[in-house]
Amino acid sequence: MRRTVVVVSLLAVIVLAVTGSASAQTWIQFRYWPNTTTVSGGMTGGWQTASVGVTLRRSISPAWALSFEGDWGGQSNWSGDWLGATSGTDSYWSLNLHRTWGSHASTFSLSAGYMNLGSGSVLPASPNQQAFRATGLRLGADFQRQLTHNWSLMLWGAVGVGLSGENSWPGMAPTESTSAQYYEYGASIGYMFAGDWSLDVGYRGMYSAGGASPSYMPFTATSTGFMLGVSKMMP
């Protein structure tokens, strides 16, 4: 938690310091990502999640930008070892610094930042969530190209590096540290309408994994699904 506060505070200071730049622009997207998670490893099964999300990306110069992105949703339709679960949540957010190349027609960026990913379900054995969390360094890349006057393409991917994992189940098992992995990928097509508004349709996949710890089994979880969003470029 302390590390998260420090990272958020530093990026907030940078944004406030540069937000007055005349060349700065902000891209904002709101999205809906209904996805299906499939789990394998020590436990098997899965669930569905109706996630809502937001991305804020602020240019601070022609070559640099800052971004925040997050997705949060409630679980349903559990199966396998999660059959009988009564509730659950999935969450993901990251703060990133981007180095950008290109022009208005085509841009490419590499990014580095901090990420926090979590998933938990309430099982019949306890009213408390059995949960997994992964935090640490995130490296990413994205590419955007204007196809025609109204259409655009966006591709992106990211991976966690040296992540820290945590298993917890209050009242049932101790909280234990473990290894963690993460990567994601996606693609979307945007159609611009009503000025700088865009309708975005795409597909996204997110992978996470946790290693075994004394009280918990290892697992891998893959979440995939189509997404729908609206976005706008603002000065």
Amino acid making up residue 148 = T
Neighbours of 125 (CB within 10 A): 11
**What confidence score (pLDDT) does residue 103 get?**
80
Query: pLDDT by residue (tens digit) across 76-116?
Result: 999 999 999 999 999 999 999 999 998 878 999 999 999 99
Number of domains comprising the chain:
1
* DSSP states along 121-141: EE-TT-SSEEEEEEEEEEEEE
State mean pLDDT over 138-146: 96
Q: Are 29 and 200 in contact (CB under 8 A)?
A: yes
Rounded CA-CA distance 17/191 in Å is 33
**What confidence score (pLDDT) does residue 25 get?**
86
With a CB cutoff of 8 Å and minimum separation 6, the contacts of 214 are 174, 176
Neighbours of 179 (CB within 10 A): 15
Rounded CA-CA distance 166/183 in Å is 17
Confidence of residue 23 (pLDDT cuts 50, 70, 90): low
* Structural domain that includes position 198: 2-234
State mean pLDDT over 2-20: 51
State mean pLDDT over 36-59: 95
Dmax over CA atoms of the chain, in Å, equals 57
CATH of the domain at 141: 2.40.128.100
- Asked if pLDDT for residue 160 goes beyond 50, the answer is yes
Q: Which of 67, 70, 69, 89 is nearest to 78 (CA)?
A: 89
Q: Which has the minimum average pLDDT: 33-37, 39-43, 191-195?
A: 191-195
State mean pLDDT over 148-162: 94
